[in-house]
A and B are shown apart, each in its own frame.
Chain A
């Protein structure tokens, strides 16, 4: 071979590439580039833990330092995935404990993490620094104790939204006295009361602590003790925000907050007592992120609070804020990028607060940078959606949940097709969309035609026929994740667009009209897909082929069928027709 580009030079250049997309492109140029790239990839992201096996990852990337992985389908968050479905991390930890002794980071979402896994992590990786468990479950405070005790260089321990079995609060005391490396600690999901003095000493000896999210059990009157020892904090999650009304507690708290000049983000606020709110006013003007989604404050208190947060970029709040509070928000917070409004009474038959579509319209009018919305409400109109679309063509995430399924436009009683159609037409960079209300096949036509950058779509109680599903699968060029529940979508659209499924991460369909026969056919035709039928009524072949399956989860994989399925999950593969003939 003639002149060739020296490997060392290429490796040096690749060092600067952090994006997976870029690295994946590099590795496709030629065999030698593939080789060079795989030896220097340090971070791996696995969007679906069953799309690949630990062995395949380890074989291709021998020098990984950081793994990020996701497990269960998103609808598991809403109890649509039965217990024991899978997403166990242990096989990965076990394989990596041998292959990656220098592993530093593990970030997991919606996976089952046992104490055994945590203990193995704590003992296998000498340089372990970052553990993020987002919406995970399966572990207890004993597992946390092993992490605390054995990971001497731990920087981040973040348990956001995970379910931990609280056997004892003593786990925190397992951090050794010489552990001073903590940068981020998020224990907000834990229920147990930790030893406060252990917490205090830990905070005091970690000078780089930037994020501290406490759990509900940490009392408000003790919060100043922590704040005084960590005035460099940038993100704080309070514990319960309530205490006896006493002026000494109040002034102590207010003074402690005033010392925290770097505070950018606040969360917590369980059981909030409004009298103590003014104690935190001194930090409001610097806040960029505020999570009040647990704060059962009423509209006047909420309005007063957000009106002072002029730098706010992200607000999560309950619908107690009402339309008037959102109007105040739109006037005061011109930098707002993300708004999430959660329902205070999701199962009540009647509205309990004065929050309507108007609140969202105001914010879309007043906040030019608004690009990410999650909004629960009880009424919506096409006119409002059209206005929002016109105001905010820069929207990239739009999730609207009208609490009652299939409600029409409350003004015209028409479906909300035109409204959502306006959103996808106007918001050309839209990446994520969740819809609700009365919707016909027409809205899917609009989506297939216009939503070319859409990556994730969530549909519930919508559509009339297979045509709806066909529009989406055939039109949405960038679609990666599609999740559908309770829609009259069946076999035809699914089978006609089978090839599309190989270009996506996953498809979820529950309570639709997909027959067992179609699932078998799909599994047969598409060997690189795992077609999994979830049915708690028993083996699907005890029912006719035409019988619809309860739930269907289809995902592309190079790992073959999985071997850890519970009794109610069946994989449809090439052999399935042979087994049941």
Chain B
């Protein structure tokens, strides 16, 4: 029978797919694979409540990728992927506060600017920072946020653009009292 010989032909033909599958079955198999992926990511995601870096397997599964879609050339895709891995690692810096028994560590990447950073510091160490002005530094409190830059100098937080600060900040130090005043903290 024609059908039988067709099947035999298929069993022995040279091809690039899994044996015993044809085009329609290939599509079914790939959609089943995707369902499994989604299931896996759901269960693992429930356990990942923290803000820690998520590994690729636990990130929400991307939709089944269609070859050549969207039509973006490979050298463009490669460029973006490199950037992505860079952005997955945080910029962790130590934060010390004068008089506190131990230090903390924060990830500068999660803040969008100085306001958010200072807010977070205030909450972490339970103090208030004064108002920033270029002329007088942080006025209205006995604390001044400072940082050590790449050259090892102690600088007042807030003077340079946020991005520049993020790349040059090596560690943070919340200064207190008379020393703080020396950095331009007007009380």
Contact = CB atoms under 8 A, between A and B. Distances in A.
B74 interface: yes
Contacts of A274: 161, 163-164
B72 A342 contact: yes
A291 B66 CA distance: 28
B63 interface: yes
Contacts of A485: 68
Contacts of B6: 544
A493 to B, nearest CB: 22
B13 A538 contact: yes
B50 interface: no
A79 B74 contact: yes
Contacts of B150: 244-245
A183 B107 CA distance: 48
B80 interface: yes
B67 interface: yes
Nearest to A347: B62
A536 B16 contact: yes
A78 B164 contact: no
B99 interface: no
Interface in A533-547: 536-538, 542, 544
B167 interface: yes
Interface residues of B, number: 33
Given A273-B167, A274-B163, A349-B60, A78 B71 contact: yes
A544 B13 CA distance: 14
Nearest to B9: A542
A271 B167 CA distance: 13
Interface in A428-468: 460
A77 B67 CA distance: 12
A403 B66 CA distance: 11
A270 B75 CA distance: 12
B51 interface: no
A346 B68 contact: no
Contacts of B102: none
Interface string A62-80: 0000000000000101111
Contacts of A538: 13-15
B30 to A, nearest CB: 14
A interface: dominant SS: loop
Interface in B27-47: none
Contacts of A273: 163, 167
B126 interface: no
Contacts of A537: 13, 15-17, 23
A293 interface: yes
A294 interface: yes
Q: Most A CB atoms within 10 A — which of B72, B161, B164? A: B72
B14 A75 contact: no
B135 interface: no
Nearest to A270: B79
Contacts of A245: 150, 164, 167-168
B65 interface: yes
A343 interface: yes
Contacts of A189: 75
Contacts of A342: 72, 76
Nearest to B60: A349
Nearest to B12: A542
B140 to A, nearest CB: 29
Given A79-B68, A273-B167, A296 B80 contact: yes
Nearest to A244: B150
Nearest to B65: A347
Nearest to A76: B68
B70 A343 contact: yes
A78 B80 contact: no
B70 A345 contact: no
A308 interface: no
26 contacts: A79-B67, A79-B68, A80-B68, A161-B75, A245-B167, A271-B83, A273-B163, A274-B164, A293-B76, A294-B76, A342-B76, A345-B80, A346-B80, A349-B60, A349-B62, A349-B63, A401-B70, A401-B71, A403-B70, A460-B69, A460-B71, A537-B16, A537-B17, A537-B23, A538-B14, A544-B6
Interface of A: 75, 77-80, 161, 189, 244-245, 270-271, 273-275, 293-294, 296, 342-349, 376, 401, 403, 405, 460, 485-486, 536-538, 542, 544
Given A349-B62, A405-B66, A538-B13, 14 more contacts: A78-B71, A161-B73, A161-B75, A244-B150, A275-B161, A275-B167, A342-B76, A346-B72, A346-B77, A346-B80, A349-B60, A349-B63, A401-B70, A538-B15
Instruction: Give the 5 A-B CB pairs with smallest separation, nearest first.
Output: A78-B68, A275-B164, A80-B68, A78-B71, A274-B163
